[in-house]
Amino acid sequence: MRSSLRVCGLAALFACSSAHGAEISYIDSELVFHQKVPGPGIPLFSGDIVRGDYARLLGTIFESRHDFFINNWIFIASDGGDVREAIKIAGLLKSLYSTVVVYPATGRCVSACFLIYAAANQRASDNEKLIGIHRPYIVDHELASMSPAQAEREQNKVLAQAREFLKSNSVPDYLIEEMFRRSSKDVYWLSADDLERLGFQSPWFNQYLVATCGWTAKYPWEELRPEVLKCKKGFTERAAQDALDKAATEYHKSYGQLPGSHALSSSNRN
């Protein structure tokens, strides 16, 4: 299954999704922000996270990089899936300085999806009970194929990897403990206070914006002064382009041709 970039109205999002893994599509910015933003819309990464989604997302962004980097925002909506794949996707979007958004109209972000949200240098969610956490786990069909000893070993590896990843991305300790004390069937929904304590920017990114761009806002959407946006783009755009090229080159060397769709043509955007 190949990911595809399609221009979708909000009511047609389910037509753009797949039961076999996550998809990326463009949604009309006016349906979300009630105003038009430059470019074909805002990308939405949605669906269960499975192995291969990192490559498909990387390939799609690489082929349509111009459209993606016009705004460099991405909505995410997923009930989770493969933890290791989510960590790879999180690392990619972090390296691209993408603003990761969880929004009521596009869907919730649960389980492994939280790893993607938490790692973003800039993130936004305007409602509580949209982001849910519980103990990471290996997906059932993989776990069921293992011996008990192998299942214990592999599950402990996943738990250790997820814990280290969250700590390295400055997730508050109390949220990490809340996450790990709950079973995979017991979701803790982040409150408005939890979201503020997690922060809407990573600490280093916030401080760098303050020092270099005169950032004064609390939330990403509050600070839209052209000079601040230009400043931020000035130090992120080249780094993001380089990071995308590096990720694509490394994938190509290891696995061959990247999956993904061709860049959008003007006829696809109508």
Domains observed in the chain = 7-199 (3.90.226.10)
Question: Is residue 254 pLDDT above 60, yes or no?
Answer: yes
Rounded Cα–Cα distance for residues 53 and 20 (Å): 10
Q: What is the pLDDT of residue 161?
A: 95
Summarised one tens digit per residue, pLDDT across range 96-128 is 999 999 988 889 999 999 999 999 999 999 777
Name, in order, each residue with C-beta under 8 angstroms of 66's C-beta and a sequence gap of 6 or more. Answer: 263
Mean pLDDT of 201-227: 87
Question: Is residue 14 pLDDT above 90, yes or no?
Answer: no
Rounded Cα–Cα distance for residues 222 and 86 (Å): 29
Report DSSP letters for 87-121, one per residue.
HHHHHHHHHTTPEEEE-TTT--EETTHHHHHHH-S
62 to each of 51, 127, 243, 244, how far by Cα in Å?
A: 19, 31, 11, 7
Q: Which two tokens stand for residue 243?
A: 């990071």
What average pLDDT does the chain have?
84
Question: Is residue 2 pLDDT above 80, yes or no?
Answer: no
Question: Is residue 223 pLDDT above 90, yes or no?
Answer: no
Strand locations in 142-235, DSSP E? 188-189
Q: Side by side, which strands form the sheet with 109-110?
A: 109-110, 131-133, 188-189
With both helix axes pointing from N to C terminus, report the angle between 83-95 and 53-63 in degrees, rounded to the nearest 10: 20
Lowest mean pLDDT among 59-68, 96-105, 133-142: 133-142
Question: Is residue 253 pLDDT above 90, yes or no?
Answer: yes
Q: Are 261 and 60 in contact (CB under 8 A)?
A: yes
Rounded Cα–Cα distance for residues 109 and 78 (Å): 5
With both helix axes pointing from N to C terminus, report the angle between 83-95 and 226-255 in degrees, rounded to the nearest 10: 130
Question: Is residue 88 pLDDT above 90, yes or no?
Answer: yes
User: Phi and psi at residue 214, in whole multiples of 5°?
Assistant: 65, 35
